[in-house]
Structure formats: C-alpha cells, structure tokens
Structure 1
Amino acid sequence: MTDPAEAQAPARRWPLIPTILVLAAVAAMVALGVWQLQRKNEKEALIALFQRNMAMSSTVAYPELPPVPDAFLYRKSSVVCLEPVRWDPRSGTDRKGQSGIRMIADCRTGAEGPGVLIDVGIGDDFAPPKWSGGTVQGTIVPGPEQPTVMERAMGKAVPARAMLIADTPVTGLRASAVPSADDTPNNHLAYAFQWFFFAIVALIIYILAVRRRLQP
C-alpha cells in the first residue's frame, strides 16, 4: 500500500530562479571564452606586425607622445636627449645574457612634453652613469611602465610611453638586450579553454545538485 505521507507530498519542481542565475553565469563564461578567442586572433596579427617591424632597416621619427602606435614598436629610430632628468634603475640582461642593472634615463627633449625614456645600457650597480645626454640611436620598445589588466578593465589606464634601447651603450655600460616580438604574450587560447571548462563544470554541478534535490 502507498504511504499516505508520500501520497500527499507535493511534487518537487525544477527551481526557476536559481536556474536562470546559473544559465546567465554560464552564458557569461562562454562569452568570455569567445572574447578570448577573438583576442587570440588580434594578438597573432599584432605579433606578425612586430615581426615585420623588426625586419625593417629604415628608421622612423621617435613618437614622443603616448600612446605609441603599434607600427612604431620594434622599429629603428633616434632621439636627442638634451638632459637626463631622472634615472630609473631596473634589473635586466645584456645582449650576451648576463644579468645586471638597466639604466633607464628619463630625458628632456624640449621645454615641454613628457620626455623620452632611453635605456642607455646595463651595469653592475645602481650608480647612474656619468652621461649628460646626446643623440641616441636604437630600437623602440614598449616602456617599462605598462597599465595593469585591472586598470585597462576599469578604463583608468594611462597611455604608456615607449622606450628607446640604445644600440651603443654609454661609457662603462654594456648594451641591453632588445626584446623580441616573439616575446609578446599570447595566452588567450588557454584562457578561452579555461572559461569554457568553467562553464561546463558549473553546468554539470548544478544539474547534479538539482537532480539530487528532486529525488523523492
């Protein structure tokens, strides 16, 4: 015979509001994965542009005002440093792979403007070189102070200045290594797989949880 308590128990229904919230979260994860795939294609095109720039032997005028167009990065250029107004020592390597301290000069190029960042070479200590400026030839690369991912997402990113890595270091220093276009990070495919994986896992966990809840 059927238990009266079981006969009178109301049928359990699939929860509507939690389902809508979970589906919205899954849709957002899928959208983020698709966006990362789009970013992957954009980054591959950007790396190809940088590789073409590195292969060019002609020089371009140095872009003193940020943001620096991608077409100028990894190109040869020259700039006149009237006076180094500030030094920014940072760790780095020379062109033989030896570690040291990169001496980055924030140079004045005129009466106004943000100035120009120049990597004049690598030394073994933090003491600035005895260099008063002059004409510097080198390669344009992204500057050391790039906006963070959070700043970009919040729309608070300040346009970053580029930097010129000198072909010939100043006296007493070694030539700094020039970054390669191939060093440009392109992890968007892995990020896309992560978002898709999170979406699938969230959906499976929710379905299993609801099925267990609906069991008599």
Structure 2
Amino acid sequence: MNRLPVIPTLLVALAVATMIGLGIWQLQRKEQKDALLSRYESAVGLPAVIWPTDPDPAALPLFRRSSLLCARVVKIETVSGSNAAGKAGFAHIASCRTSEVEGPDAKVAFGWSERPQSPSWGGGPVEGIVAPHGTQHIKLVSTDAVDGLEILAEPSPRQIPNNHLLYAIQWFIFAAAATIIYLLALRKRTKAS
C-alpha cells in the first residue's frame, strides 16, 4: 500500500488554496472597481469643481470639469495620446506652477500633435476635464485648442480597464493546473511502485 507523501501534498494543497484565495480576492476587487467606475461615470455630468491644490487620493474629482491658472510652465513632456478624432499621436503635458510664487504643481495636458515636436506654451488659464495621472494623481486635460496643436481626446471612465475577472479566472486555472499536475505525478508514482 502506497502512502500519500505528506510534505509535498501539504505544499501543493497550500499553493492551491493560495491560488483559489487570490482568485476570490480578484472577484472582490472586480466588484469594487465596478462601483468605482460607476461613480466616475456619474461624475461626468456634474458641475465643475475647484482645482484641488492638494488632491486627496481617496476622493479624487475625476472626470469632473475644472479650471486652473498655469502661472508658469516648469517643463513640458510628450507622451503617447489620441486627439478628439481618436487618431494616435502625442499628448503634450505641462508641469505648471499655479501661482507666480512657489505654488503647488499641476499637470496640464494642453494639446495633441502627430509628431513628438516640442511645443512652446507659456501657460495661462485652462479649462478642461480632470483625469487620472500617475504619482500626482490628477491632471487637467484642456478642452480648448492651443496654438498649433489639436484638442486631445476627452478623458472617459470607459478608458479605465477592469481586468479583475480575467485575473480571477487566471488564478483558478493555475489552481486547477497545479491540482491536475500533482494528481498525475501521484498516479505515476503509484504505477512505478
């Protein structure tokens, strides 16, 4: 009579339980992301907000209209982006001081071009839509054209992916594969005995 190897069985059982737990966690994350995206979708038609100088990551006014004064352009970076017609190209984003003195920085996506040219923009009043932006959390995407540049695509909650269901399925497949491989290994071991 062959005995079940205790330590390998415990290790595989622990790994499979962890993968199933991760799959369940991803399903919970999917529900949270659905609620967040629904909140963002409902924010689209709300009135404009005052530009937050110190945005709270837990309560960002994403996809709301806002405005700010870009008093001084500190630097301009160029990243990939789309114009209002959906054509791929380059978005130009300025780091702005919001006052002449050392006021807080604000990111302003001020225009689109087909080539990664280095546009010159001196700042000024900007109206637009609040969109997500990396470590600074938010940027203002201008809804007006700047000299020589086209208007960027309007930010939309539909651009934010919700892949948590796929991640959950992936973890469940890993758990099933690990179980099947281990059972096949046990079967081979039993036949060899």
TM-score higher than 0.5: yes
Residue of structure 1 aligned with 2:50, choices 57, 61, 77: 61
1:117-169 deviation per Cα after TM superposition (whole angstroms, max 9, x unaligned): 101111233344343221111000011xx3xxxxxxxxxxxx43311011112
Q: What is the match of residue 197 of structure 1?
A: 173
Q: Is the 8 A contact 2:141 2:155 kept in 1?
A: no
TM-score (norm 2): 0.91
Unpaired segments ≥5 residues, structure 2: none
Distance (whole Å) between structure 2 residues aligned to residue 130 and residue 71 of structure 1: 29
Q: What is the match of residue 77 of structure 2?
A: 88
Structure 1 residue 91, shift from structure 2 partner:
2.1
Q: Is the 8 A contact 1:34 1:192 kept in 2?
A: yes
Q: Is the 8 A contact 1:53 1:71 kept in 2?
A: no
Distance (whole Å) between structure 2 residues aligned to residue 120 and residue 98 of structure 1: 16
Paired positions, count: 191
Residue of structure 2 aligned with 1:181, choices 139, 151, 157: 157
Distance (whole Å) between structure 2 residues aligned to residue 202 and residue 126 of structure 1: 48
Distance (whole Å) between structure 2 residues aligned to residue 127 and residue 200 of structure 1: 51
CA RMSD in angstroms, aligned pairs only: 1.7
Q: What is the match of residue 10 of structure 2?
A: 20
Identity %: 41
Distance (whole Å) between structure 2 residues aligned to residue 69 and residue 209 of structure 1: 48
Larger-gyration structure (1/2) = 1
1:46-76 deviation per Cα after TM superposition (whole angstroms, max 9, x unaligned): 11011001122x1111123345445500000
Distance (whole Å) between structure 2 residues aligned to residue 74 and residue 175 of structure 1: 16
Q: Which residue identity does 1:132 align to in structure 2?
A: G
Q: Is the 8 A contact 1:105 1:117 kept in 2?
A: yes
Q: What is the match of residue 161 of structure 1?
A: 137
Unpaired segments ≥5 residues, structure 1: 1-10, 147-158
